[in-house]
Each structure stands twice: as structure tokens, then as C-alpha cells.
Copies of this chain bind each other. A is one copy, B any other.
Amino acid sequence: MSSPLPKSYGLVLFPGFQALDAFGPLDVLNVLSISHPLSLSILASTLAPVPTNSPANGKLSPNFGESVVPTHTFANPPADLEVLIVPGGFGLRNEAVVEELAQFLKGAYPKLRYVLTVCTGSVPLAQSGVLEGRKATTNKKAWVWATSPFPKVDWVHKARWVVDGNIWTGSGVSAGIDLVLAFVEEVYGAAKAKELTIGIEYDRHEDPSYDPFADIWKVTE
């Protein structure tokens, strides 16, 4: 358990974010907020709603997506952020998006208590330099794209999630749920993590080395 318990959470959003990368962890934290006085800031480039289907990414259908409302811009973040969550998604195939997030993360990280990435959310954190010399993991299907530009990161090939100091990195998409439940267990205690897990009727992976997807996607040393 951490003392004092963190209260101020932030979520970084960008057009083309992967919905479950964000809403897996957020759903768990939404329920945690029933018993703990948490706050959430949603940060984006502007205050316009942020869509899951980015027009800049032709892969996603322009007619199927969801838009989430930010509360702050990267230029004017809240001063007291303690925990920052960074989802991945196809929108990160746009280099300007990665660079904007990386600049924000570079400035924000020294003041944070924890940073959590899910899926290719590791890419802007790697681009910021924060992951240099650190153990981290990322999406297994996108492994080569996500890791090859960052040889100074100690990428862990087979992992559901990886913890290195205050940096928690998750594997692809649904791994974010296991990541955040492990984080809740570490910070708020095992009883709370169990309560949240059975509350959302989730069959949790508690072993961070669980990773059949590394083999499925042929991610090797």
C-alpha cells in the first residue's frame, strides 16, 4: 500500500485511441472511486471530443467510433497529477501525434508518482526518453513497429505487464485490465483488488509473465 494514497489521475487521449486500452483501466478505477475520493482529468490536444476512429488513420471505419470529452489540454494540465494512464491505438501511426504526446510526457513524468501505459501507449513514452534503460512491454501484434525505433529500452518479450520502478507497462489492449488490477493491489491492497475483480466478474491474470500472445504473434528475443 502507498501512503498517502494517490488521488489525482490523468488519462492521455488522441484521435484513434484504442477504446479498451483506456476503458479497461478506467472502468476499474471508476468503481474504485466509490470507496476512494479520486479525481480524473482527461488530457488531449484540444478540448474537442476525441474520437476512437481517427480520420488520419484510414484503417478504421469513419462511421464506427466513439468520442470522449477531454477536461484539459496538454498545454494546461492540472498541477497535481499523480498517476497518468496512456492508452495505445492506431492513431499513433501518425508521427506528429506520437511527438506531441512524447513532449507532454517528458514534461509531466518527473512530477508523477506513477505512469501506466497500455498496448502501444508505450510508444510515446519511449519517444519521450523516459523508458531508456527501463524494462517495459507493449502490444505483441505491433511489436516490431513499437519496439524497433527504441533500442535503448529493455523490452520484455513475454509479459502480460511489466513494472520498473514507478513505470507500469501493459501488453495489448485487454492486458490493461490485468495491469490496473495489479496496480490497485500494489497501491490500495489485495482485498480491494479482489473486490473490484469479482465486482466486474473478471477472470483476472495475476501472473505478469502470462503471455500466450508472444508466441501467437511470433515475438522472440
Contacts and interface: CB of A to CB of B under 8 A. Distances in A.
A56 to B, nearest CB: 15
A68 B100 CA distance: 23
Interface string A19-30: 110111011011
A138 to B, nearest CB: 11
Interface stretch (A106-114, A126-134, A146-154, A171-179): A171-179
Contacts of A18: 27, 30
A27 B23 contact: yes
A65 interface: yes
Contacts of A202: 173-174
Contacts of A22: 23
Contacts of A36: 61
B66 A67 contact: no
Nearest to A71: B67
Going nearest first, the 7 A-B pairs with the smallest beta carbon separation are A20-B27, A23-B23, A33-B61, A172-B201, A33-B64, A173-B200, A39-B63
6 contacts: A20-B23, A23-B27, A30-B53, A33-B65, A37-B63, A198-B213
Given A38-B63, A69-B69, A173-B199, 12 more contacts: A19-B23, A20-B200, A22-B23, A23-B24, A23-B27, A33-B63, A38-B61, A42-B66, A174-B177, A198-B216, A201-B213, A203-B203
